[in-house]
């Protein structure tokens, strides 16, 4: 029997969680299209070796999203999997956030997912498909230090659930993964590098997540990618509208060892 070719798109696919997802999907036999605003020579060469297509795509640009989706659909006439992964952090008190910074964060982390879904969903009909949004533990339990980022990710979780309901009739499943904190990613590496004491800051990230603390290591990009592969697979055919936290328990509540008033 001829193998069925499946097309997958990963935004922000050239680094960190996105790159790990792109590589794992290619290992699984997907025809993968990675869109990003930048790529290193090393990543480009890893993609070329595996037949992964890279396209420049700024997810804040509607036309570039349309181009990425129509190119990715050329091989099979359809899209089977869309992973909305592109994202930017925003660590600032609300009083210090400029209107343009709000737009940058919300346009990249939220509006882009609206636009990719708008153009990918018609390409998933009538057979169905899967959409996986990379939200954050910040979308489950807001944090004091990054309110705009937390808002963008909480809204992405809400978008996930609404679209899961709306498009169940199309056999399109919509789920999200809520990671954090994940090592070997552009986002976390930048935060560590900017810290006054990078070693202590990295340790504080490990300590903030109960299981990471117990294992004395950060969560890896491949651990997030594995959840995306599962949510795209036949094994998860009855799962939609979920938000899977892969944060070592960080969003559960107060971790052990922290004194609390009763």
Q: Is residue 17 at the binding interface for ligand NAD, with CB under 6 A as the rule?
A: yes
Q: Is 14 in the site for ligand NAD (CB under 6 A)?
A: yes
Binding segment toward ligand NAD, per CB under 6 A, in 179-187, 196-204, 208-216, 234-242: 179-187
- Distance CA(208)–CA(182), nearest Å, equals 12
Pick one of 151, 188, 206, 229: the residue that binds ligand NAD (CB under 6 A).
188
- Alpha-carbon distance 218 to 145, whole Å? 20
By beta-carbon proximity to ligand NAD, the closer residue of 171 and 201 is 201
Nearer to ligand NAD, 127 or 190 (CB): 190
| Residue 79 or 134 with smaller CB distance to ligand NAD | 134
Q: Which is nearer to ligand NAD, 185 or 242 (CB)?
A: 185
* Binding track, positions 34-63, relative to ligand NAD; x by CB under 6 A: --xxx------------------xxxx---
Pick from 158, 187, 192, 208: which binds ligand NAD (CB under 6 A)? 187
Q: What burial letters (b/e) apply to 144-156, b meaning 16+ CB within 10 Å? A: eebbbbbbbbbbb
Please say whether the dihedral angle defined by the alpha carbons of residues 241, 179, 121 and 232, taken in this order, is positive or negative: negative
Position among 186, 241, 249, 255 found at the interface with ligand NAD (CB under 6 A):
186
Would you call 30 a catalytic residue per the annotation? no
Q: Considering the complex, what minimum distance in angstroms separates the CB of residue 226 from ligand NAD?
A: 14
The structure tokens listed for 194 are 């900017």
Of these, 179, 227, 240, 251, which contacts ligand NAD (CB under 6 A)? Answer: 179
In the complex, minimum distance from the CB of residue 81 to ligand NAD, in angstroms, rounded to a whole number: 16
Give least dist CB 21 to ligand NAD, A.
9
- Give me the sheet containing 30-36, strands edge to edge: 53-56, 30-36, 6-11, 81-84, 129-134, 172-179, 243-246
CB of 82 to ligand NAD, least distance (A): 14
Please report how close the Cβ of residue 31 comes to ligand NAD at its closest, in angstroms: 20
- Cβ neighbours around 42 below 10 Å, total: 9
Determine which one of 30, 119, 149, 230 is catalytic: 149
Distance from C-alpha of 57 to C-alpha of 11, rounded to nearest angstrom: 8
Q: Which two tokens stand for residue 233?
A: 């697979």
**Active-site amino acid positions:** 149
Q: Kindly list the residues in this chain that would bind ligand NAD in the complex (CB under 6 A).
A: 11-12, 14-18, 36-38, 57-60, 85-88, 108, 134, 136, 179-182, 185-188
């Amino acid at each position: 029997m001829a193998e069925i070719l499946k097309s997958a798109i990963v935004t922000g696919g050239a680094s960190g969680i996105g790159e790990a997802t792109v590589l794992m999907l290619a290992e699984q036999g997907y025809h993968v299209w990675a869109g990003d605003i930048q790529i290193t020579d090393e990543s480009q060469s890893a993609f070329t070796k595996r037949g992964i297509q890279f396209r420049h795509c700024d997810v804040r640009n509607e036309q570039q999203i349309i181009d990425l989706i129509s190119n990715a659909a050329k091989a099979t006439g359809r899209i089977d999997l869309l992973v909305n992964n592109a994202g930017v952090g925003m660590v600032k008190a609300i009083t210090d956030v400029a209107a343009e910074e709000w737009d940058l964060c919300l346009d990249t982390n939220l509006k882009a997912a609206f636009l990719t879904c708008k153009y990918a969903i018609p390409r998933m009909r009538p057979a169905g498909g899967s959409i996986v949004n990379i939200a954050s533990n910040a979308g489950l339990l807001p944090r004091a230090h990054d309110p705009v980022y937390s808002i963008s990710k909480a809204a992405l979780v809400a978008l996930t659930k609404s679209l899961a309901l709306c498009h169940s009739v199309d056999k399109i499943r919509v789920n999200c993964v809520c990671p954090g904190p994940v090592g070997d990613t552009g986002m976390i590496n930048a935060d560590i590098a900017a810290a006054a004491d990078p070693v202590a800051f990295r340790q504080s990230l490990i300590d903030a997540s109960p299981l990471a603390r117990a294992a004395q290591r950060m969560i890896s990009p491949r651990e997030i990618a594995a959840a995306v592969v599962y949510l795209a697979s036949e094994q998860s055919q009855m799962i939609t509208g979920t938000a899977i936290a892969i944060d070592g328990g960080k969003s559960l509540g107060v971790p052990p060892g922290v004194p609390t008033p009763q």
